[in-house]
Amino acid sequence: MDMGIRITEDGPYIVTGGVPIYEKRIVKRDGVYVWEDGRELPQAEVYALCRCGKSGNAPFCDGTSHKRFKGKETADRRPYGERAEKLEGPGMDMLDDVRCGKAMFCHRHGKSTWELLKQSDDPDARNELIRAACECPAGRTVVMDKDGTVREDRLEPAIYIVQDPERNVSSGIYVMGGIPITSADGEVYEVRNRVLLCRCGASRNKPFCDATHINAMYKDTRGGSIFRKK
Ligand code: FES
């Protein structure tokens, strides 16, 4: 079966094709944010990921908790290139669609992606800018050279179940490597290298994360253990 994610109406994400799944924590190390391994998660050919935020077996759907969940997909489905604004720097340009899960990878050594863009004629700032833009799990930012050449990492298809111990919350589902995502109504979303899906159930931009898990203080139900090291 091909790799894919199918959104079910008011229910979970069904993942097919044996997509590798890992829990990862966002941690700050030496001034930059990095992924740290979390708990080991079971691998399977097909699995259902909770979308309502209430499962007793997170990140997987437990089959019952979503009974009262209203999971209507509300996100703008136009392609990224149409939704994003083009921002120009002296050495590079950047697209920005303002789709933000507050994962913080846009901050490196005290500078934001947008500050780095303004200094992008400096080789060091340019390298930092490429890292900052490419590591945003929400896929908010895409950088390119002045001739339009996009600087994007080649990511293998995988899913990260994201934990944010700095904020003491559970974050979204980082889908990387161009895994197709199909809406509950059958339409396939634009295939992208990086997207962050909502799993707390509270995003106002479903199926994508809009950082509402922070205000909602969402913690997935395997409890406080998620913030401890393995
Ligand atoms: S979507 Fe099924 S328990 Fe959350």
pLDDT tens digits along 32-78: 999 999 999 999 999 999 999 999 999 999 998 899 999 999 999 99
Residue 65's pLDDT is 87
**CB of 12 closer than 6 angstroms to any ligand 1 atom:** yes
Going by pLDDT thresholds of 50, 70 and 90, the confidence category of residue 195 is: very high
Q: How far is the CA of 212 from the centre of ligand 1 (A)?
A: 18
**CB of 152 closer than 6 angstroms to any ligand 1 atom:** no
Check whether 226 has a pLDDT greater than 90.
no
Q: Which among 47, 65, 68 is the best mutation to test ligand 1's pocket, defined by most ligand atoms within 8 Å of the CB?
A: 65
* Among 98, 102, 74, 73, CA closest to 84: 98
Q: How far is the CA of 60 from the centre of ligand 1 (A)?
A: 7
Check whether 224 has a pLDDT greater than 70.
no
Measured CA to CA, the distance from residue 175 to residue 221 in angstroms comes to: 21
* Among 137, 151, 92, 142, CA closest to 116: 92
* Among 95, 86, 107, 202, CA closest to 139: 95
Among the atoms of ligand 1, which is closest to the Cα of residue 51?
A: 1
